[in-house]
Amino acid sequence: MSHTKLSDRELKVLLAILRCGVEVYAPKIRDKLREFENEALSIGALHSALDRLEQRGLVESWMGEATKVRGGKRKKLIKVTGEGQIAVSHAMHTLNAMAEGVLGGDGAGVLA
């Protein structure tokens, strides 16, 4: 069975969406990514990553309500689809399998 391949950025964005929980939209994802990385992703880069993920059916989006904080502009709410969750779990399994024996806290790994 072939799995959807994810780039590094796509994987991070999907994980950030899953971590955010409910009512996820672009600035929330950006904040979540900033929590783990010093460098923040630009809004343009995040939007194009989300568009790409949506085109591939890994996330779905719908228009939310307009708020005063956003100057009366609506937000685009985002959710990871089932296919997206499968893609994330497959990517993480591959990463973990590759990291096994390389990373080791007990001194067993190459990078102890």
Closer by beta carbon to another protein, 63 or else 97:
63
Closer by beta carbon to another protein, 25 or else 84:
25
Number of residues that bind another protein (CB under 8 A): 20
Span 67-86, contacts to another protein by CB under 8 A: 69-71, 73-76
Helix (H) or strand (E) holding 28: helix 26-36
Among 24, 25, 53, 59, binds another protein (CB under 8 A): 25
Helix (H) or strand (E) holding 47: helix 43-55
Distance CA 43, CA 52 (A): 14
Q: Is 24 in the site for another protein (CB under 8 A)?
A: no
Distance CA 66, CA 77 (A): 12
Q: Is 107 in the site for another protein (CB under 8 A)?
A: no
Closer by beta carbon to another protein, 51 or else 100:
51
Distance CA 61, CA 51 (A): 10
